[in-house]
Amino acid sequence: MLSIIDVKDFIDLDQETVSTVRQAMGLPTDDSIALAQQLLASESGLAVLHHMYRDLIASAEIDRQTKSGLELRQAYAHFSRKYPLPHILTEGI
């Protein structure tokens, strides 16, 4: 039987991304892992994950949670390097 850690390692998720999805969506860890995996599978999903990180960072700053905000910024910096924000084409607009 696979553990949650085995599943996360298999799908190349890090704890910070799972935690971000869990906090942003209010889901249990298992569901957060499944959702994060789905979001990583598409460009629009990657954009959603970027927004989740940014929203949580903004929230931490508003609430003056300096330590939390710094940790989120570091996690987002790592996530952004690993999964750059996809370029969305806006042809014909």
| pLDDT tens digits, one per residue of 20-61 | 999 999 999 999 999 999 999 999 999 999 999 999 999 998
What rounded mean pLDDT belongs to the chain? 84
Report how many domains make up the chain.
Answer: 1
- What is the pLDDT, as a whole number, of residue 90? 44
Q: Is residue 47 part of a domain?
A: yes
Residue type, 66: T
Q: Which domain holds residue 71?
A: 4-82
54, 76 Cβ separation under 8 angstroms = yes
Q: Is residue 90 part of a domain?
A: no
Name the pLDDT band for 89 (thresholds 50, 70, 90): very low
C-alpha 79/C-alpha 23 separation (Å) is 16
Q: Is residue 67 part of a domain?
A: yes
Average pLDDT on 4-33 reads: 83
Q: Is residue 93 part of a domain?
A: no
The residues, any chain, with a CB within 8 Å of residue 67's CB and separated by 6 or more, are none
Q: Which residue reads 């629009």 in tokens?
A: 44
pTM of structure:
0.77
